[in-house]
């Protein structure tokens, strides 16, 4: 699903039960112009900055990492983690890419044996 | 493969058999009075926190990094016991050493299994191990003391304060032996005259120096004879782990966390009417115990010999409540 249509669908669903989820009120709470948010929802505008996406995720009770992924962004936090050990994490992600969800739900940590 | 999760070490051998899994944890407990009287089993007061050495390597001595493994915190003169949790019926031969002194025989550490004398315990037949096997049906409790003060088993038996901690190696049963045993048991369940008996009775089936374990008070506990024999164990597959013991300050410096609070004294615990335990589990024969281990001075005796003030919190106790437990109910947890 596209970022804009996902935001719109979520907001409209919330608005059905709570009028505070109008475009105008959501835009006001996250600190953008209503017209800007409306364009984003219609796909006429690129997704906003990471900070705005995080505020939007919080306002709509969505997972920020999922929203960032839909927006084609990698969070600054994730970038920092990968930059610290790029080879290791690149290799790890490639190895995990094709595994089914149930296989990667748990990280198995082996106790290292040494020289004694 | 050994993994650490929720303060439990899980030993698994998927390359041997899908059911070849068991775990162990280190239980916090009372230090029983070190007064040469035989005491009942003290309770478990929750498990010690365990951490990977690798996660705190920058704050630990290089030699510990070389050892790998895990570490846990203990106060001076605090006691522990090892709780073996079986996930099923798969048997293991487990060797345990403190400061590289075999806790069953008193011999120097080696990875080899021996049956003369037997230098390992058999899990799940052995539900727990509380200390050094000093005589038949009797152990001396594992009590943490700083290396270098002369109390630990390794110092008493080798004269050196070198290793500390605990060393553990586990061997699974050979898969074909297990399968044959399981088949025999299934046939016994289907056709045997006394299924109920079989189920209830044990079927033959950057600190400077770390802490070490010294012999404490006497406790009634048997180390059981191997009912399967040496040939049953798969000596081609083994997993081993070095368990370092840090004192509370060292632990806080390494991890940034405080260790658990000190356990109550045996006297306070008993006065509160809380239970001790007596295990009437197995009909298996018990090992005779080690003369080497029996020859060690207990912490209290060593304290007197060294002219130090008497061991604190060492009042005699007379338990008001002793809960009998058997093989089907191996829980040693007090309810608070």
Domain span at A40: 3-70
pLDDT tens per residue, range B37-86: 999 999 999 999 999 999 999 999 888 889 999 999 999 999 999 999 86
* A41 occurs within a structural domain: yes
- A111, A112, A114 ranked by CB distance to B9: nearest: A111
- A109, A113, A114 ranked by CB distance to B4: nearest: A109
Q: Which of B242, B247, B241, B243 is nearest to B210 (CA)?
A: B247
ipTM for the complex?
A: 0.77
- Alpha helices, DSSP H only, in chain B? 62-67, 153-158, 175-191, 195-200, 248-255, 266-271, 291-294, 299-305
Residue B3 contacts A where some CB pair is shorter than 8 Å: yes
Residue B9 contacts A where some CB pair is shorter than 8 Å: yes
Contacts of B240 in chain A (CB under 8 A): 113
pLDDT tens per residue, range B200-227: 433 333 445 679 999 999 999 999 999 9
3-state secondary structure of B252: helix
Res. B266: pLDDT tops 80: yes
Domain count, chain A: 1
* A39 occurs within a structural domain: yes
pLDDT tens per residue, range B130-169: 999 999 999 999 999 999 999 999 999 999 999 999 999 9
Q: Which of B80, B106, B315 is nearest to B211 (CA)?
A: B80
Quote the tokens at residue A24: 């105008």
Q: What is the pLDDT of residue B282?
A: 62
Q: What is the pLDDT of residue B213?
A: 97
Q: Which of B166, B144, B33, B10 is nearest to B90 (CA)?
A: B10
pLDDT tens per residue, range B295-335: 999 999 999 999 998 888 999 999 989 998 887 777 777 65
Q: How far is B11 from chain A (nearest CA, A)?
A: 10
> Contact B54/A109, CB-based, under 8 Å?
no
* A64 occurs within a structural domain: yes
Confidence (pTM): 0.77
* A36 occurs within a structural domain: yes
Q: Per-domain residue ranges for chain B?
A: 2-325
pLDDT tens per residue, range A2-17: 899 999 999 999 999 9
CATH number at residue A28: 1.10.260.40
Contacts of B65 in chain A (CB under 8 A): 114
Q: What is the pLDDT of residue B183?
A: 87
Q: What is the pLDDT of residue B190?
A: 53
Residue of B nearest to A115 (CA): B67
The percentage of chain B sitting over the pLDDT mark of 90, rounded to a whole number, equals 75
Q: What is the pLDDT of residue B207?
A: 47
Q: What is the pLDDT of residue B244?
A: 96
Residue A9 DSSP code: H
């Amino acid at each position: 699903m596209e970022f804009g249509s996902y935001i719109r669908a979520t907001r409209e669903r919330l608005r059905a039960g709570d009028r505070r989820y109008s475009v105008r009120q959501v835009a006001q709470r996250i600190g953008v112009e209503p017209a800007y948010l409306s364009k984003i929802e219609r796909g006429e505008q690129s997704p906003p900055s990471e900070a705005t996406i995080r505020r939007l995720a919080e306002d709509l009770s969505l997972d920020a990492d999922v929203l960032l992924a839909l927006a084609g962004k990698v969070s600054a936090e994730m970038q920092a983690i990968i930059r610290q050990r790029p080879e290791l994490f690149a290799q790890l992600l490639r190895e995990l890419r094709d595994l089914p969800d149930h296989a990667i739900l748990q990280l198995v940590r082996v106790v290292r044996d040494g020289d004694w | 493969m050994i993994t650490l999760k929720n303060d439990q070490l899980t030993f698994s051998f998927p390359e041997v058999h899908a059911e070849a899994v068991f775990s162990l944890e280190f239980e916090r407990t009372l230090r029983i009075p070190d007064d040469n009287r035989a005491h009942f089993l003290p309770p478990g007061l929750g498990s010690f926190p365990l951490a990977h050495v690798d996660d705190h390597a920058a704050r630990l001595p290089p030699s510990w990094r070389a050892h790998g493994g895990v570490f846990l915190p203990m106060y001076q003169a605090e006691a522990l016991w090892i709780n073996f949790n079986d996930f099923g019926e798969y048997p293991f031969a487990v060797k345990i050493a403190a400061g590289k002194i075999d806790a069953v025989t008193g011999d120097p550490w080696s990875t080899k299994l021996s049956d003369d004398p037997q230098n390992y315990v058999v899990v799940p037949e052995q539900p727990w191990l509380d200390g050094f096997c000093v005589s038949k049906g009797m152990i001396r409790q594992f009590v943490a003391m700083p290396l270098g003060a002369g109390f630990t088993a390794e110092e008493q038996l080798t004269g050196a304060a070198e290793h500390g901690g605990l060393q553990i190696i586990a061997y699974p049963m050979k898969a074909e032996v297990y399968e044959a045993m399981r088949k025999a048991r299934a046939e016994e369940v289907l056709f045997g005259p006394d299924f109920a008996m079989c189920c209830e009775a044990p079927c033959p089936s950057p600190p400077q120096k770390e802490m070490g374990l010294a012999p404490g008070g006497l406790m009634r506990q048997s180390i059981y004879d191997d009912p399967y024999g040496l040939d049953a164990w798969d000596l081609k597959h083994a997993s081993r782990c070095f368990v370092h013991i840090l004192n509370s300050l060292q632990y806080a410096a390494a991890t940034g966390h405080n260790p658990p609070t000190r356990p109550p004294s045996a006297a306070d615990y008993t006065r509160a009417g809380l239970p001790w335990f007596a295990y009437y589990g197995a009909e298996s024969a018990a090992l005779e115990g080690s003369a080497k281990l029996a020859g060690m001075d207990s912490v209290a005796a060593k304290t007197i010999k060294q002219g130090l003030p008497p061991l604190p919190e060492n009042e005699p106790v007379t338990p008001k409540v002793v809960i009998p437990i058997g093989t089907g109910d191996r829980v040693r947890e007090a309810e608070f």
